[in-house]
Homo-oligomer: A and B are copies of this chain.
């Protein structure tokens, strides 16, 4: 396979898989492109490479920045804004953990709490209360796990955990 072809395949795969996780395809493709690029790219270069509009590029660059996955890089003498991706995949993983925790788990835990509070004294709400508590427990576990992953020093623990999973 040609190098170019392999790069395109990588970008394409990344874009496709991401939609299953509820992440915008273009956002993932831009991310993949920047991950592969050893120099910073500007909006025009991204438009050209991925064949998408300026508005689309701009919007998704903003999103990627808000996820903490890419950064603006100002190049001396250049007027345009350039963007680079965080290349350390462990940092990327931690950052995604952090954001998904904040954006998804915290709201879920809050919602479960609200419901629990609203029914806690009602005898006839036993069934609902049990499910809410169970889901709260699983979500709390997921939350703790992501919190752990998102810590600076987590990598050794994560790999320890991984090793644990290899055997029985």
Contact = CB atoms under 8 A, between A and B. Distances in A.
Interface stretch (A45-53, A54-62, A72-80, A116-124): A116-124
A101 B90 CA distance: 20
Given A131-B36, A134-B89, A3 B115 contact: no
A35 interface: yes
A142 to B, nearest CB: 9
A115 B17 contact: no
Per assembly, the copies of the chain total 2
A36 to B, nearest CB: 6
Interface residues of A, number: 55
A115 B6 contact: yes
A3 B124 contact: yes
Nearest to A142: B93
Interface of A: 1, 3, 5-7, 9-10, 13, 17, 19-22, 35-36, 38, 87, 89-90, 93, 103-104, 107-108, 111-112, 114-115, 118-119, 122, 124-125, 127-128, 131-132, 134-135, 137-138, 140-141, 144-145, 147-148, 157-159, 161-162, 164-166
